[in-house]
Structure 1
Amino acid sequence: MFSTVDIAIVVLYLAFMLGIGVYTLKYAKSVEDYLVAGRRLVLFTYIPAMAAVVLGGASTIGSGKLGYTFGISGVWFLIMLSLGVIANGLIVAPKIIPLKIKTMGEFLEKRYDRSTRIIGSVVVAIYDLMVAVTQTIAIGTVFSAMLGWDPAFSMIIGGLVVLLYTALGGMWSVTLTDIIQFWIMTIGVLILVPVFGFMTMQSQGLSLSQLPSSFFDWGAVGGDTILLWFMLYFFGLMLGQDIWGRVLTAKNKRVGAIGTVAAGLYGIVYAFAAVFGGMVAYLLFSGGLENPQYALPSFVAAVFPTGLAGLVLAGMLAAFMSTGDSCLLAATSLIVYDVIGSLKKFSERTMLMLLRIFNVLFGIFMIVAAVAISEVLVALDIAYLYLSAGLFIPTVVGLYWRRPSSIAAKLSILASILVATAVALYIGWPYGF
């Protein structure tokens, strides 16, 4: 359990995030401002904003859990995800930034037709909502460990904060909060978790050699699991509107390409820090934690001094919120701008109003679904299953094929989703992942 000072730090952080939402309300005066922050981000703002989108609650809590359960092989989860981000910077970003589009759906219409835009947007919106759900689950996990609150109640509180500041300022709010959240994550998780991990082992006479030998086996998590992560996350990180939306905020092609690759490299380093924290937690608690999802929060609560514990927990919350807000905005933009906006023409003012209304509606869904699912990696697997299966082929063909077929694109999306669902059900969806 954490001290009053630690809790106060986290509460102040949440209040500050809400304050940014109110502040950025005045900047979100157009659809372009609301969806892509006016395309104004330069490298020193783009890199932290992109890294914060990628490294969310599943990356932090999930990697800590994997480190606690499997050891070093748990890094493959985030490595595959980060390699997908690097591939995005090399393959996707240089192609889509010059198009001056706002969404992935808009790209699909440019390369295929309006019906492909609508179908693809619905599929990607489902993915983004499920990723937002994972972040809300992770917020609940940390709040529950920190305050002893019921996990469901914790998800509601954390989810409401994300919902409010995202609905108010759109991409401007998401960008400013993500940049702040990146630095809190870097200090709290990337730096302090390894430092205090080594200090704890030294002070308590613990050693990595006391861990099970399997913890140092790079394949302990299972070759099939590593392959699954590659198929889901490497391809998935080239496709999501949460990632595309951030790419499209870049000032130019150079910023988008270099910044996205840099964010992916950062993610690989972050993987080792989070997994190491889980491994130290295994030593500290002798493998006796009832729920491995609490590995990192429990480690922080046990060894960090007052004040720093609050900072690290704020860093974890920052990781969850920085991805949750982007995914919530992405789902909203796809349904409102790409689906509803394709069916009827709206004025700029009406479109902004619809974007804010649907942000609230999808935010409520995000919270309800998080309470119902409650398992962070299961929710993330479901999300990337449908994104990777449904959109990879038509997106890559659209990027590099001069005359792609709209009929083939729609059939590819629908057939891939049906096959993915059938395979998932066959192996015990969602718990077969």
Structure 2
Amino acid sequence: MLGTIDIAIVVLYLAFMLGIGVYTLKYAKSLEDYLVAGRRLVLFTYIPAMAAVVLGGASTIGTGKLGYLYGISGVWFLVMLSLGIIANGLIVAPKIIPLKIRTMGEFLEKRYDRSTRLIGSVVVAIYDLMVAVTQTIAIGTVFSAMLGWDPSLSMIIGGLVVLLYTALGGMWSVTLTDILQFWIMTIGVLILVPVFGFMTMQSQGLSLSQLPSSYFDWGNVGGDTILLWFMLYFFGLMLGQDIWGRVLTAKNKKVGTIGTVAAGIYGIIYAFAAVFGGMVAYLLFSGGLENPQYALPSFVAAVFPVGLAGIVLAGMLAAFMSTGDSCLLAATSLIVYDVIGSLKKFSERTMLMLLRIFNVLFGIFMIVAAVAISEVLVALDIAYLYLSAGL
């Protein structure tokens, strides 16, 4: 379990996220600001914001679990997600940014008709809600493993924070929190987890050579599983409104293309850090964890010193919340802007009010569904299977 200082760091982090939501309320005065942050992101703000959308609970907790169970082949999960982002940057982003659209649904109507916009928006909104559910589950997993809190209570607390700051500031709130969360997760997961992994092995006389030989087989997770991940996640990352919404915040086509590809490359590097953490956890606990989903947070709680453990926990929470907020906003945007807004015309002020109301309603659903499902990769598989099959 973590110390008082670590818990204080996490509480301050959550409070700061809420503070950003309140601060950005003054910037979200129009649909353009609420949905696409005024299309004002330049490269040094766009890259961390995009990377933060992709690297959520499944990318961190799920990849750590795969490293614990299968070794190096666990990277394929996040590699497929990252390749999907790279493909999005090369194929999708250059085409949709010049259109000056606000949502994927708007593109569907331009390309096909209003019926396609309505149906497609509902399908993708359900997918985005399910991805938001996975992030809420991941929050409960980490709090339970590292703080000893009840998982359901943890999901409620984390989910409420995401719900509130997303509803208040829309894409501006999501963007500013995502940029901060990117740097926290970079320090906490990408840097500190590998560093302390090597230090732990050295201090306790552990070696990667003590792992089962299958842990160094790139196909250990199974060729059929790798193919499934490719079909679900490579194509899914080119289609989701959570990703499109971020792409459309780019200032121009160059920023969107280069920034999206860079975020995908970052994701591949992140995959190896998370898998390595899971492999070290296997050595540290002799493969005896009751729940492999706790591999990465249990490793951090066991070996990190006071203060640094709180930073890493905040980094994990940052990964979950940065994806959860984008997906929650995406689902809300599609239903309010593309479905309700297509069926009846409202003033911009009324649309902003509806966006905030539905953010709250969908946020409540996100929390309830997370408590009911309670398994990160199961929820994510449901989301991407639904999206890929539906589109």
Q: If the length of structure 2 is used for normalisation, what is the TM-score?
A: 0.99
Matched residue SS, 1:306: coil
Deviation of the 1:149 alpha carbon: 1.2
Higher relative contact order (Cα pairs below 8 Å, separated by 6+ residues): 2
| Separation (CA, whole Å) in 2 of partners of 1:144 and 1:351 | 38
Deviations 1:113-152 (A, max 9, x none): 1110000000000000000000000000011112211111
Deviation of the 1:273 alpha carbon: 0.1
Matched residue SS, 1:26: coil
Deviations 1:361-416 (A, max 9, x none): 00000000000111100110111112xxxxxxxxxxxxxxxxxxxxxxxxxxxxxx
Greater Cα offset, 138-147 or 61-70:
138-147
Matched residue SS, 1:378: helix
Deviations 1:199-251 (A, max 9, x none): 00000000000001110010000000000000000000000000000000000
| Separation (CA, whole Å) in 2 of partners of 1:101 and 1:5 | 45
Correspondence 1:346 to 2:346? yes
**What is the count of residue pairs matched by the alignment?**
388
Q: Determine the structure 1 residue equivalent to 2:251.
A: 251
Deviations 1:90-119 (A, max 9, x none): 000000000000000000000111110000
| Separation (CA, whole Å) in 2 of partners of 1:63 and 1:385 | 19
Deviation of the 1:180 alpha carbon: 0.1
Q: If the length of structure 1 is used for normalisation, what is the TM-score?
A: 0.89
| Separation (CA, whole Å) in 2 of partners of 1:238 and 1:120 | 14
| Separation (CA, whole Å) in 2 of partners of 1:145 and 1:65 | 13
Matched residue SS, 1:341: helix
Q: Determine the structure 2 residue equivalent to 1:390.
A: none
| Separation (CA, whole Å) in 2 of partners of 1:382 and 1:122 | 16
Q: Determine the structure 1 residue equivalent to 2:357.
A: 357
| Separation (CA, whole Å) in 2 of partners of 1:82 and 1:143 | 27
Deviations 1:161-201 (A, max 9, x none): 00000000000000000000000000000000000000000
| Separation (CA, whole Å) in 1 of partners of 2:272 and 2:385 | 25
| Separation (CA, whole Å) in 2 of partners of 1:2 and 1:190 | 20
Q: Determine the structure 1 residue equivalent to 2:76.
A: 76
| Separation (CA, whole Å) in 2 of partners of 1:114 and 1:32 | 21
Matched residue SS, 1:218: coil
| Separation (CA, whole Å) in 2 of partners of 1:208 and 1:145 | 24
Matched residue SS, 1:317: helix
Deviation of the 1:37 alpha carbon: 0.1
| Separation (CA, whole Å) in 2 of partners of 1:272 and 1:147 | 26
1:12-31 pair list within 5 angstroms: 12-31=12-31
User: RMSD value over aligned CA atoms?
Assistant: 1.4
| Separation (CA, whole Å) in 2 of partners of 1:231 and 1:179 | 29
Matched residue SS, 1:126: helix
Deviation of the 1:69 alpha carbon: 0.4
Q: Determine the structure 1 residue equivalent to 2:182.
A: 182
1:60-209 pair list within 5 angstroms: 60-209=60-209
Q: Determine the structure 2 residue equivalent to 1:402.
A: none
Instruction: Tell me which stretches of 4 or more aligned residues in structure 1 moved more than 3 Å.
Output: none
Q: Percent identity?
A: 94
Deviation of the 1:310 alpha carbon: 0.2
Q: Name stretches of at least 5 consecutive residues in structure 2 with no aligned partner.
A: none
Matched residue SS, 2:219: coil
Deviation of the 1:266 alpha carbon: 0.1
Q: Determine the structure 2 residue equivalent to 1:242.
A: 242
Matched residue SS, 1:83: helix
Deviations 1:20-61 (A, max 9, x none): 000000000001100000000000000000000000011000
Deviations 1:304-328 (A, max 9, x none): 0000000000000000000000000
| Separation (CA, whole Å) in 1 of partners of 2:277 and 2:146 | 17
| Separation (CA, whole Å) in 2 of partners of 1:305 and 1:232 | 38
| Separation (CA, whole Å) in 1 of partners of 2:157 and 2:128 | 20
Matched residue SS, 1:156: helix
| Separation (CA, whole Å) in 2 of partners of 1:300 and 1:101 | 43
1:225-236 pair list within 5 angstroms: 225-236=225-236
Matched residue SS, 2:97: helix
